[in-house]
């Protein structure tokens, strides 16, 4: 695809659409838009624009469609796969001014929200009404709900409450041609033609720009309990995960963390936690519900299972403050690992009983290639984030040989029935690995779908495939 | 699209692929394949074929793709929108011999099942392992799980456990060109390119023929309670529905039934039930969980809500036999209504708090056009099945004027934030109403997607749009 640069004429039209005060074109002003949370990648757009209304987004898209200017939609820039990087320059449309919760409909347990609302802001707003929106990625304090939709983001509570797919009912979307549609209806069930809502979720901003989101809400559980269990081996901890479900309990979170992740959290985040010798892995387990006795009974059942898997200690959080402290360990782990070393983060997902094989295999691959790894993630979903640490690898090996090691990790993931990404998306940095799982037939279908929505290929080009 | 007839040469190739004993071409033998459960529509295919293996389906599709022969995939023929009718003749591929449960994986709480397995057979097989597959349409005793996938079928338990979208993880699919793909991975989370699993669900057999389905399973709740509440007005019953959720309870079923539906069940199904004067509507409400006290506490909360909405009586089922009897009332209602009168069934879905407006509006439209109606359905999801009864309408009005009345019902549904179908699909009989909700942009996208999968337009043509 050959794209055009943004000419002075086009820039003046952009200014006319949104007002010059919402247009940035000097590199210094665009620095924060030149990267996301993916390693050290930097790509500057030519122009950043901050529309406020759907009609403005539509006018911008129509203009870029006409002039063959690449467009990169942008949420909060917290992505981990480079999906919001302007790899072809062009226009970046930042959705940060789409920051309104338009309605919380307590009659229908639905909300209508703009994509630039911070996820945690939305969660707190509905919680005030006694309602739960359970999609809470680790970055919930800074990520946008629109970015969550684009990446099919998860978080710890997916294991009980389901992914964002189960909460987004309908969306207003600006298509790459500038046309505006609602993808579906504000209903809990839908069997009326190909489901465009579901197709757009996880499409990483390549098929349209979401401008309104209608979500389902559910009654908020009134009790929860949180426990941290420690193990002398990763394998025991991972094996306990599927046993908990087989015992008939569905926890509201079931997170795995390796010892080294915990060490780095203690070192970089100032958490006060005594790490005992011999402990190699942790499970952070939450149960919730509307009845305290039942929540405690669930915890007891979980505890019985943990004992069968050589669990060493179980720490029950006995206050809100302690719960928050334990959650902070899990949430800051990515940042702590990042502080410590040159690293690359890969997002693997397998059927949950395959976790022990996956984690053992990752360590073996690390030995072969000379890298270390810190693994943690949403073990209840079989979703393991693999942080590859440069450690003793030479720069040459890191730069030239590591992709072979990552390839082996993904080959293992696929052989276990899994796939490349459970919740981070493919974006820019994972697309080279896609042929490990998908055939030319898949690529042909994906590209065909892309061309239906975006005949000129201007929207977020170079992502996914 | 111009299609070819099945020539003697093509027929001999079909015979060679599946064996002559699995090919029907005499009309008398094809009678049951000429209709589904949609009113009185009859379309004969030229040939019915019953493959057993994916490779056979692939070879049949490749043959028909090459020779431009229309193909209609066929489940159990229980559809209510004409989606499995061979409206262009051609080849019907019946999936009835794909009837194996291939694996119930208790480690991962997943199963792999062929599309021709009867839904109830599958539900019972996993229940024996203490597991729940909660997608149970009223026709569960005869419908196929493959048909459920094609139509995004629901049933009473969607309200708590989610639709079939939340249980299908991955599918093996034969594409219209004869190529075979797995749509995704056997994982609970998935963020690896456009989600073809979700796109195929609800596509009514127009994008591919499903040959294997990997489903999620969950621990089976160990207790449930069922109650039947009676009201003197439809409006009170419908208004109670959203109030139950606002009280913080998510029932595992919340079904609405009009008095007349109950009368006809009593008349045609021999149910022993005393229908009191003045009662106009019923809610059938189930609560379930892993703790009896909590289930009873939920029932008490529900009961308190019901009292606020002028509920007259609440009958608690006190035995399994009584629960089954109450469920039988709901499940046989469609058949009973059908036994009584010439009718048309429409499937409407709205945000649940809009149910009172919907049902009142339907009655007003009925008065205007001269038809009567019996409404029932999954009120907890806002999903109302509207059975339009010919009653005093003249044949001329029924044949020529009724579509205007149905149009008004769907216009009302759409104006309330809803859509045409919640779980029956669009198929043949609803497609004329699609422009009431969807724009030419939607149709262009849908047709574009169809062409990506099926460039020759041979798979289930004439359906949805």
Q: Do A312 and A267 share a structural domain?
A: yes
From the list B26, B5, B105, B94, the residue with the least C-alpha distance to B56 is B94
Q: Are residues A187 and A263 in the same domain?
A: no
Of B163, B194, B378, the CB nearest to A203: B194
Copy the structure tokens of residue A383: 């979703």
Residue B3 covered by a domain: no
Helix residue ranges per DSSP H, A83-233: 119-127, 145-151, 158-161, 196-200
With 0-12 / 13-18 / 19 or more C-beta atoms within 10 angstroms meaning exposed / middle / buried, residue B276 is exposed
Q: Are residues B208 and B123 in the same domain?
A: yes
Residue B89, classed as helix, strand or coil, is: coil
Of all residues in chain B, the one with the smallest CA distance to A355 is B108
Residue A118 has pLDDT above 90, yes or no: yes
Residues B265 and B289 in one domain: yes
| B239 in a structural domain | yes
Final residue belonging to a domain, choices A184, A219, A254? A219
Minimum-distance CB partner of A423 among B189, B203, B426: B189
Residue A75 in domain: no
DSSP notation for A274-292 = ---TT--EEEEEEEEES-H
Contact between A187 and B294 using a beta-carbon 8 Å cutoff: no
The average pLDDT across A225-232 equals 98
List the single residue in B105, B187, B421 with the smallest CB-CB distance to A350. Answer: B187
Asked whether the predicted pLDDT for residue A343 surpasses 90, the reply is no
Mean pLDDT of A89-105: 98
Tell me whether residues B294 and A297 touch, CB distance under 8 A: no
| Residue A308 in tokens | 């069968």
| Domain presence at residue B407 | yes
Indicate the DSSP class of residue A407. H
Backbone angles phi and psi of A342, in degrees to 5: -65, 135
What H or E segment, with its residue span, contains residue B331? Answer: helix B320-340
Last residue of a domain, one of B163, B192, B219: B219
Residue at a domain's end among A313, A332, A351: A332
Q: Do A163 and A135 form a contact (C-beta atoms < 8 A)?
A: yes
- pLDDT tens figures, A246-292: 999 999 999 999 999 999 999 888 888 899 999 999 999 999 998 89
Q: What is the pLDDT along chain B (465 residues), one digit of tens a residue?
A: 799 999 999 999 999 999 999 999 999 999 999 999 997 899 999 999 999 999 999 999 999 999 999 999 999 999 999 999 999 999 999 999 999 999 999 999 999 999 999 999 999 999 999 999 999 999 999 999 999 999 999 999 999 999 999 999 999 999 999 999 999 999 999 999 999 999 999 999 999 999 999 999 999 999 999 999 999 999 999 999 999 999 999 999 999 999 999 999 998 888 888 999 999 999 999 999 988 999 999 999 999 999 999 999 999 999 999 999 999 999 999 888 888 888 899 999 999 999 999 999 999 999 999 999 999 999 999 999 999 998 889 999 999 999 999 999 999 999 999 999 999 999 999 999 999 999 999 999 999 999 999 999 999 999 999
Residues B226 and B325 placed together within one structural domain of the fold = yes
Residue A316 Cα distances to A225, A229, A326, B176, angstroms = 8, 9, 10, 55
Summarised one tens digit per residue, pLDDT across range A360-398 is: 999 999 999 999 999 999 999 999 999 999 888 999 999
Q: Is residue B33 part of a domain?
A: no
DSSP conformational letter for B166: G
Check if the beta carbon of residue A384 is closer than 8 Å to that of residue A348: yes
- Partner residues linked to A284 by β-bridges: A228, A255
A213 closest CA partner among A110, A283, A295, A287: A110
Is residue A119 in some structural domain?
yes
A134 domain residue, yes or no: yes
- Token code pair at residue A91: 């226009």
Other C-beta atoms closer than 10 Å to the C-beta of B312 total 15
Same domain, A291 and A321: yes
CATH code of A257's domain: 3.30.70.2190
DSSP string computed for A47-95: EEE---SHHHHHHHHHHHHHHT--EEEESSS--SSSTT--TT-SEEEE-
**A1 pLDDT higher than 80:** no
> HSE-up of B125 (CA within 13 Å, CB side)?
18
In three-state secondary structure terms, B242 is helix
Residue A6 pLDDT > 90, yes or no?
yes
A449 to chain B nearest CA, in Å? 6
A251 occurs within a structural domain = yes
Same domain, B373 and B329: no
* The pLDDT of residue A138 is above 80: yes
Amino acid B156: pLDDT: 95
- Matching residue, tokens 């015979």: B15
Each residue of A388-439: pLDDT tens digit?
A: 998 889 999 999 999 999 999 999 999 999 999 999 999 999 999 999 999 9
Place of tokens 């007003």: B364
Structural domain count of chain B: 3
- 10 Å CB burial of residue A99 (0-12, 13-18, 19+) is middle
CB pairs under 8 A between A and B: 289
Report the CATH number that the domain containing residue B360 is assigned in CATH: 3.30.70.2740
Please judge whether B351 and A246 are an interchain contact, meaning their C-beta atoms are less than 8 angstroms apart: no
What is the per-residue pLDDT across A182-203, written as a single tens digit (0 to 9) for each? 999 999 999 999 999 999 999 9
Same domain, A252 and A160: no
The answer to whether the beta carbons of residues A257 and A329 sit under 8 Å apart is yes
Whether the pLDDT of residue A228 is over 80: the answer is yes
Task: Specify whether B195 is located in the same domain as B289.
Answer: no
For residues A193 and A184, what is the distance between their CA atoms, to the nearest angstrom?
9
Distance from CA of A174 to the nearest CA of B (A): 11
What pLDDT was estimated at residue B391?
83
In Å, the largest CA–CA distance within chain A is 70
> Domain range holding B145?
101-219
CATH number at residue A109: 3.30.465.10
Whether residue A312 sits in one domain with residue A348 = no
Residue B188 vs residues A63, A264, A353, A415, B442: alpha-carbon distances, Å: 40, 29, 12, 16, 29
Chain B positions touching A218 (Cβ under 8 A) are 250
For B298, nearest residue in chain A (alpha carbons): A290
Tokens for B86, please give them.
């061979």
Residue B375: C-alpha distances to residues A302, A451, B431 (Å): 45, 43, 21
Regarding whether A154 and A188 lie in a shared domain, the answer is yes
Residues of chain B with C-beta less than 8 angstroms from the C-beta of A291: 291, 293-294, 297
> From the CB of residue A346, how many other CB atoms can be counted at a distance below 10 Å?
24
Domain check: are B215 and B225 in the same one?
no
Which pLDDT belongs to residue B277?
A: 95
């Amino acid at each position: 695809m050959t794209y055009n640069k943004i000419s002075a004429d086009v820039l003046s039209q952009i200014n006319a659409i949104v007002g010059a005060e919402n247009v940035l074109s000097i590199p210094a002003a665009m620095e924060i838009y030149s990267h996301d949370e993916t390693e050290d990648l930097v790509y500057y757009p030519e122009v950043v624009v901050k529309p406020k209304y759907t009609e403005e987004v539509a006018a911008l898209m129509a203009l870029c469609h006409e002039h063959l200017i690449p467009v990169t939609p942008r949420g909060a820039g917290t992505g981990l796969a480079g999906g919001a990087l302007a790899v072809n320059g062009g226009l970046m449309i930042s959705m940060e001014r789409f920051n309104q919760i338009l309605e919380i409909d307590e009659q229908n347990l639905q909300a209508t929200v703009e994509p630039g609302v911070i996820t945690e802001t939305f969660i707190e707003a509905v919680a005030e009404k006694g309602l739960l929106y359970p999609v809470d990625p680790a970055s919930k304090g800074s990520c946008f709900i629109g970015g969550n939709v684009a990446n099919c983001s998860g978080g710890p509570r997916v294991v009980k409450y389901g992914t964002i797919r189960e909460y987004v009912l309908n969306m207003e979307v600006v298509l790459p041609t500038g046309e505006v549609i609602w993808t579906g209806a504000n209903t809990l069930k839908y069997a009326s033609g190909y489901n465009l809502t579901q197709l757009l979720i996880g499409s990483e901003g390549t098929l349209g720009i979401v401008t309104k989101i209608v979500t389902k809400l559910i009654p908020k559980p009134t009790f929860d309990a949180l426990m941290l269990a420690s193990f002398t081996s990763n394998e025991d901890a991972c094996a306990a995960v599927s046993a908990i479900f087989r015992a008939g309990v569905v926890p509201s979170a079931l997170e795995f963390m390796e010892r080294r992740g915990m060490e780095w959290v203690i070192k970089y985040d100032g958490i006060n936690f005594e790490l005992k010798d011999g402990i190699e892995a942790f499970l952070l387990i939450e149960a919730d519900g509307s009845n305290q006795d039942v929540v405690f009974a669930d915890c007891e059942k979980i505890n019985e299972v943990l004992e069968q898997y050589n669990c060493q200690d179980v720490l029950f959080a006995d206050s809100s403050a302690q719960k928050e402290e334990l959650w902070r360990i899990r949430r800051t782990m990515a940042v702590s690992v990042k502080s410590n070393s040159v690293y690359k983060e890969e997002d693997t997902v397998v059927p949950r009983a395959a976790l022990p094989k996956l984690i053992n295999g990752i360590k073996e691959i690390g030995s072969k290639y000379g890298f270390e790894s810190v693994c943690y993630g949403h073990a209840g979903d079989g979703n393991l984030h693999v942080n590859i640490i440069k450690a003793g690898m030479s720069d040459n090996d890191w730069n030239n040989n590591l992709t072979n090691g990552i390839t082996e990790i993904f080959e293992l993931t696929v052989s276990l029935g899994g796939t490349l990404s459970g919740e981070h998306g493919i974006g820019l940095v994972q697309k080279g690995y896609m042929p490990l799982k998908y055939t030319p037939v898949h690529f042909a279908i994906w590209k065909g779908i892309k061309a239906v929505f975006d005949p000129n290929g201007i929207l977020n080009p170079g992502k996914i495939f």
